[in-house]
Amino acid sequence: MQRRAAAIYVAFFLVVGAASFSLIATASAPQLSFENPEHELGQGDSFTLNGQEYTVSGISAEMEGGDGGGHGGGGQAHLVRSGTIEFTNESARYTVEWANGSTVTYEGTDWAVTTDNASSSVTLVESIDRAAILQNDTDVENETTTVDGTEYVVERAGDNGSRNLIPVDEYFPEPDTREYEVGDEVDNIENNTATVDSVTPEAATLTYTAPRTNEISVADKAQVTVGSTQYFAYFPDNSTMVLSTNFETYEQYQDETAMQTRMTNGLWGITILSGVSAVFLIGLAYLPSRY
């Protein structure tokens, strides 16, 4: 091949490759933006939906992936934004279960639980800490004794060396007993008044209503349900949460992004092919001629 002709072709391919590369370098990525979104919020901001107040309790931006650690392990690091919305249900339903045969702590005292399905009742019998009572009484031994099948508390020997045996039923206080039926109210359950909702052979179930704080996790460029409304969530920066019902805007953004990706890949193909062609032509131009 004549070197002059080769130089012309090489110059052509270099110009084409440079032009395609310049298009790649100067092309701007599609920008996602919403006109008049329903909510544009910062941390601590609130909005009301169907009578319920919602508050943005947190917005975070963390780097993930890359060699520097993060949650994603290796690969290129990228910024991940997310947020949290809180709301309080003022009349949430709570349940407390007292299992049959168990010991529960109520009003600072331990109680043995017995349920009676036939009468739909639950009985609490105070648990007497016999060991603690004996240890606190210096006039008796720390352990009881059993004589002829009867359990006694042993009074310490006096000056005459004699010891008295006191029947445990006479020494220890009679345990308090409380009985509740289905529909009865029980005070001081988690600082609330509960109602005995049901009684089975396995357990008694108590219910009460009280405020409950709930959290909604919000991911970037994802759908989130707040109340009965579905929003598209977007974080344009590290301190702003956008909620919009205009899902068509994001779909259009995805289409534009996909189109740009295809165009960029095509331009890279032209750039690489032009460079390879130029190198190939230079090689051919310097091949020795047989004539």
* Spatial CB neighbours of 135, under 8 Å, sequence gap ≥ 6: 142
pLDDT value at 2 more than 70: no
Give the DSSP per-residue string, 206-267: EEEEEEEEEEEEEETTEEEEETTEEEEEEEEETTEEEEES-HHHHHHHHHHHHHHHHHHHHH
Split at pLDDT 50, 70, 90, the class of 291 is low
What ranges do the domains of the chain cover? 1-34+246-291, 95-210
Residue showing tokens 């220890």: 172
Chain center to CA of 271:
47
Per-residue model confidence (pLDDT) at position 275:
73
The number of beta carbons lying within 10 Å of the beta carbon of residue 44 is 10
Cβ pair 281, 78 in contact under 8 A: no
Tens digit of pLDDT for each residue in 103-128?
999 999 999 999 998 889 999 999 98
Q: What pLDDT shows up at residue 67?
A: 58
CA dist 224 and 245 (Å) reads 10
What is the maximal distance between C-alpha atoms in the chain? 141
Are the C-beta atoms of residues 279 and 22 closer than 8 Å to each other? no
pLDDT of residue 66: 64
Q: What percent of the chain has pLDDT over 90?
A: 46
CA dihedral 8, 14, 16, 17 (to 10 degrees): 160
pTM of the model: 0.61
Residue-by-residue DSSP string for 39-80: EEE-TT-EEEETTEEEEEEEEEEEEESSTT-SSS-SS--EEE
130: exposed, middle or buried (C-beta count within 10 Å: 0-12, 13-18, 19+)?
middle
Between CA 174 and CA 184, with CA 179 as vertex, the angle to 5 degrees is 150
46-49 and 229-237 strand pairing: unpaired
pLDDT tens digits, residue range 61-100?
998 876 554 454 456 788 999 999 999 999 999 999 999 9
Q: Given this model, what pLDDT does residue 285 score?
A: 64
Q: Mean pLDDT of all residues in the chain?
A: 84
Give residue 231's pLDDT band: very low, low, confident or very high (50, 70, 90): very high
pLDDT at 23 over 80: no
Residue 26: its pLDDT value, please? 67
Is pLDDT of 4 > 70? Answer: no
Confidence class for position 159, pLDDT limits 50, 70, 90:
low
Cβ-based neighbours of 202, under 8 Å, separated by 6 or more:
99, 100, 115
- pLDDT for 28 equals 65
Q: Is 159 exposed, middle or buried (0-12, 13-18, 19+ CB in 10 A)?
A: exposed
* pLDDT band of 253, cuts 50, 70, 90: confident
| pLDDT > 80? residue 21 | no
**What residues pair up with 135 in beta bridges, in sequence order?**
none
pLDDT band at 213 (very low <50, low <70, confident <90, very high): very high
Q: With CA atoms as reference, report the closest residue to 221 among 197, 206, 203, 242.
A: 242
Round to whole Å and give the CA distance between 177 and 111. Answer: 9
